[in-house]
Structure 1
């Protein structure tokens, strides 16, 4: 029996899964790490923690499965988690996590540039992406930027640790670095216009398509992971985007909503559609000759955990009680409206300076009402993004939800209620590691991905909307959109004040 190791570097920890060639998930394990928030809008992690957590999770998964030899290893990570390394591959500062929005001014600068590659990003780069973050480093930490031999993403760092090779994923490069594989070169002229002319020299020069073999697992890495040497390592990519690989086992044209710490929306088109309310269309980022588009909510599950744990002081082991109490509150009848832009808005507004808000509070407001209103806000953000997809012609008949949302019944049901339509919930399955299992088998055996995906097809259930909740939530959604517009100016003013404080503190 052949086995395959999948590694997923998420926001809160590393997950490892062992699969066999028949599509059975033999074992799983996870290990956590910490995130630092040095200033408002900043988020950082230590890349060494990703590797040490990977070793712990992989060893546990392999030992549980009684497996010592695998045929292929693949890794997926959050996108735009930027690493800064010296010539030995050692980090010289913490990584700028995907949700870090400090590069707002640099993002605005990309919108002022007339360059053909920016057309595939809706006219500008997000503050979350690698290029604006590299601009921020060059401007605010010039000595660190100059000392960096390598700048890349978490997936590049993990590939380096696995193989010893500095290789990029076409998925990340296309979606986050303004790369077009049809040109077969990074856009150095764009980087020069943005004040970072040497960025292309620091990024991986070898860029591999998702699923392509990039090397062999090094003896050192194999020893740390508890594996025998000889496994191939293939190019992975962005965790959420790879969900489409797994979902093609159940739908020819799925829309994936990976709902967890953040919400990522992924779909592919046969022909390109251009709109400033979506990210993309990206040529051949995941599938040759197709166009990938993405959208997202920066704050989703993170907004709920922030409220329950840090504001209301409810520990995770008592979260179920809070969710149960909030479920008893009638939808949109509590008089509270929350705006979920706690770390800015990814789409459709593309505004990193939007901020969260709570409206309608009174001395009679309860924790259950506040939690319910925040769940509704996250669901309204989901509706807003999905509507932006539909507006550019995305077929949304097959919408699949996966991720941490499956552990929160109120969030799941409210999402269906706010959308006013049935949604498919993937049953207890991590689609990222499942997709890596599919890619591993395909890379090892030469089978077509579609055929392997059908064998690995995840189970799913249909979640129907509650008719009694759909209209009240539709009315509240209109207030949500109107309030966002009314408060945009104040959001920007408050964001500027915290940015000033952060610069003073850094000095």
Structure 2
């Protein structure tokens, strides 16, 4: 058996699968986010350990773990977890959606070496600018930094005693030479850091260490349980849904949104704001467009109108309608692809007497759909294409939303059979690879339950609305 641990922003999930990749048990433990100032987003790493302990205790209560051979890790990317020489946490972790370091990001990105070596824009959410913010604003803390870890890798340190990361998560720090799959000594030096401050690197399907005896005894595991490198949340989800070969892609409608395409070659184009990262498997990369508020936008609107997201989408039914006059731009906390704009904020425009709650719901779903199309066009501009698109995440439960996306992209959207194919499942698959030496053949695409086709009669209406959406963004940018 194999375990996947997925450290998300709002909770940690533990998943147990058998050798046939059937889910045996799963548990979750909640997490909260602290936002003490505008643009700040933090968590205490101690809370991650508490959540992991709770989730693993739940698994051990649900099933015997004596046959477990491997544990894989997945997690939220980009967080700056700063440790001193005694491995004490120096400050709360600045999370992926913390944008306070936008000035530091712009300064780093102004040096061409960063894009040339990493293949990416230095986004405010990435790790390096956060650490530079600490250097500028909390110099006493920076002076004590002995190790910089990503969130899931802090869990690994607790599980194994080893400071290790893997390629897909490391690619989101702005310190990785993404083509060479190794830390860049030149970029670390520009940050007044060195390789000694970084964790050792492995591939996601390789072993990074073994479980500490104390924890193995606590949960009834053997002493030789392997902990795999694992993957950043999106790369691990791609392994979970079988998107590991060129030509395959998935759209994730979670708190944030991602359009993720696998690639067997390194082909960056930083100017597009497309993320070009290593995949969680050796010799593979991926590109993705990232929009920061997907279901987060729908949940925001649900709170605004005093309802819940499922009720709002249910009111729309399954018959897709042409976009109306009301338009929503989902930039509640800035945007990445294609704008790289941490300061932009959302808007709800085109309101009139006839605008009701359902019109607002449709506008929110359409606004996120247009953000998906922006990422789709950005990926296409890099030369990346795909002929299979799979939908995952909580938003994929809405057929109306999937029809809007399929129509906007003019591409069918495939929906897997019911089941969990997310980060925890992908992490468990990576654990299986690390423990058995098997390759990507154990990560097939799941059975497809349905295919959502574009509504051809509405394609031109969505094209016209996309144009209005982009014009509205330009006007909004002038006001921000």
Instruction: Name the TM-score, length of structure 2 as normaliser.
Output: 0.92
- Say if 2:364 is the partner of 1:367: no
Farther-moved stretch of structure 1 (327-336 vs 363-372)? 327-336
- Say if 2:427 is the partner of 1:436: yes
Q: Secondary structure at the match of 2:379?
A: helix
Given that residues 14 and 32 in structure 1 are in contact (C-alpha distance below 8 angstroms), is that contact kept between their aligned partners in structure 2?
yes
2:212 and 2:317 mapped to 1: Cα distance?
51
Structure 1 residues 246 and 360, CA gap change in structure 2 (3 angstroms): same
Report the Cα offset of residue 125 of structure 1: 0.8
Farther-moved stretch of structure 1 (462-471 vs 369-378)? 462-471
**Contiguous gaps of at least 5 residues in structure 1:** 492-507
Alignment of structure 1 residues 282-431 onto 2, 5 Å: 282=277, 285-309=279-303, 311-314=304-307, 316=308, 319-327=309-317, 331-427=321-417, 428-431=419-422
Report the Cα offset of residue 187 of structure 1: 2.5
Structure 1 residues 99 and 199, CA gap change in structure 2 (3 angstroms): farther
2:358 and 2:61 mapped to 1: Cα distance?
42
Q: Secondary structure at the match of 2:464?
A: helix
- Say if 2:151 is the partner of 1:154: yes
1:219 and 1:305 mapped to 2: Cα distance?
42
- Say if 2:19 is the partner of 1:29: no
Structure 1 residues 140 and 403, CA gap change in structure 2 (3 angstroms): same
2:198 pairs with one of 194, 200, 203: 203
Report the Cα offset of residue 208 of structure 1: 1.1
Alignment of structure 1 residues 91-110 onto 2, 5 Å: 91-110=89-108
Report the Cα offset of residue 18 of structure 1: 0.6
- Say if 2:163 is the partner of 1:166: yes
Offset from partner CA, 1:407-427 (integer Å, 9 cap, x none): 334333322232232111233
1:126 pairs with one of 123, 128, 140: 123
1:88 and 1:101 mapped to 2: Cα distance?
29
Structure 1 residues 458 and 134, CA gap change in structure 2 (3 angstroms): farther
Report the Cα offset of residue 178 of structure 1: 3.0
Report the Cα offset of residue 332 of structure 1: 4.5
- Say if 2:135 is the partner of 1:138: yes
Given that residues 107 and 125 in structure 1 are in contact (C-alpha distance below 8 angstroms), is that contact kept between their aligned partners in structure 2?
yes
Quote the residue 2:467 is aligned against. Answer: 478
- Say if 2:78 is the partner of 1:80: yes
Report the Cα offset of residue 51 of structure 1: 1.9
Report the Cα offset of residue 346 of structure 1: 1.0
1:181 and 1:251 mapped to 2: Cα distance?
18
1:190 pairs with one of 170, 187, 195: 187
1:132 and 1:327 mapped to 2: Cα distance?
44
Quote the residue 2:440 is aligned against. Answer: 449
Given that residues 249 and 390 in structure 2 are in contact (C-alpha distance below 8 angstroms), is that contact kept between their aligned partners in structure 1?
yes
Given that residues 403 and 430 in structure 1 are in contact (C-alpha distance below 8 angstroms), is that contact kept between their aligned partners in structure 2?
no
- Say if 2:231 is the partner of 1:237: yes
Given that residues 120 and 275 in structure 2 are in contact (C-alpha distance below 8 angstroms), is that contact kept between their aligned partners in structure 1?
no
Report the Cα offset of residue 333 of structure 1: 4.8
1:199 and 1:136 mapped to 2: Cα distance?
17
Offset from partner CA, 1:155-208 (integer Å, 9 cap, x none): 210110110111121222234233127767533432443xx312644322x111
Report the Cα offset of residue 404 of structure 1: 1.4
Report the Cα offset of residue 129 of structure 1: 0.5
Given that residues 400 and 426 in structure 1 are in contact (C-alpha distance below 8 angstroms), is that contact kept between their aligned partners in structure 2?
yes
Q: Secondary structure at the match of 1:30?
A: strand
Alignment of structure 1 residues 270-285 onto 2, 5 Å: 270-275=264-269, 276-282=271-277, 285=279
Given that residues 247 and 388 in structure 2 are in contact (C-alpha distance below 8 angstroms), is that contact kept between their aligned partners in structure 1?
yes
Instruction: Name the TM-score, length of structure 1 as normaliser.
Output: 0.87
1:236 and 1:286 mapped to 2: Cα distance?
7
Given that residues 2 and 69 in structure 2 are in contact (C-alpha distance below 8 angstroms), is that contact kept between their aligned partners in structure 1?
yes
2:57 and 2:351 mapped to 1: Cα distance?
49
Offset from partner CA, 1:231-260 (integer Å, 9 cap, x none): 111111201112332444796631122220
Given that residues 249 and 458 in structure 1 are in contact (C-alpha distance below 8 angstroms), is that contact kept between their aligned partners in structure 2?
no
Given that residues 211 and 440 in structure 1 are in contact (C-alpha distance below 8 angstroms), is that contact kept between their aligned partners in structure 2?
yes
1:120 and 1:402 mapped to 2: Cα distance?
31
Q: Secondary structure at the match of 1:382?
A: helix
1:414 and 1:41 mapped to 2: Cα distance?
31
1:191 and 1:448 mapped to 2: Cα distance?
32
2:8 and 2:400 mapped to 1: Cα distance?
23
Offset from partner CA, 1:253-310 (integer Å, 9 cap, x none): 311222201112222334443421144544x55343334322211111111112212x
Report the Cα offset of residue 446 of structure 1: 1.8
Report the Cα offset of residue 464 of structure 1: 1.5
Structure 1 residues 443 and 304, CA gap change in structure 2 (3 angstroms): same
User: How many residues were matched structurally?
Assistant: 478
Quote the residue 1:497 is aligned against. Answer: none
Quote the residue 2:453 is aligned against. Answer: 464
Report the Cα offset of residue 126 of structure 1: 0.8
